[in-house]
Amino acid sequence: MASLDLKQIEQERKESGIDDLILKLDHVAYRVKQGERIKKMAELMTLAPYREFKSFKVLNANAITTCLKLNETLPVIVISEGLSEDSIVEQYCQNYGSRVHHLAYLVRDIERVVEIQKQRGVKFTTEDIIGSEEEGIEQIFTIPTKTTNHIFEYIQRFGDFDGFFTPSNIAGLMKSTEKL
């Protein structure tokens, strides 16, 4: 019976066209407790030849985020650490521990992906896609999965934008996960 359900899911995906819209894994994002970001970076940099690519302070969320790259390939690893007890990141870690927070998938047409996924019953942390074509990036989070509590992110970049968020949208992304 389970295999029939999986075949049905594959058929529904194919019919919806979503398979052609979701391109590849873009990044894996961790949320870690205060004081654990450097330790997590060192662990990952020891296991594989990752290097620090970018770091950002997210003032609105009282957090710091670091991106690690393996050569010039995707996926990138993103590590966020709360800088105080009331940080969204630290509160998440108090509930779930330091762990993978979300898996981000690069998509071709984010509006269409969201439309299809909503029709399929997928729920999101916000009604609106965050960001804009003018900013170079649009993204949205699903609510956590039932089996692993992971969030999926759909992300679309425009032009030559190679980042993972902008200063104007990172707080909105983090805030959208506040009540999870």
| pLDDT computed for residue 21 by the predictor | 97
Tell me, what's the pLDDT at 3? 56
Instruction: Name the pLDDT band for 94 (thresholds 50, 70, 90).
Output: very high
Burial 54-74 (b: 16+ CB within 10 A, else e): eebebeebbbbbbbbbbeeee
Give mean pLDDT, residues 79-102: 94
| pLDDT at 167 > cutoff 90 | no
Tokens of 172: 């909105």
Residues ≥6 apart with Cβ < 8 Å to 44: 50, 68, 77
**Domain 2-176 part of CATH 3.10.180.10:** yes
Return the residue matching tokens 């916000």.
Answer: 126
pLDDT of residue 164: 77
Query: Cα 141 vs. chain centroid, distance in angstroms?
Result: 7
Q: How confident is the model at residue 1 (pLDDT cuts 50, 70, 90)?
A: very low
Q: What is the pTM of this model?
A: 0.90
Over residues 106-131, the mean pLDDT reads: 96
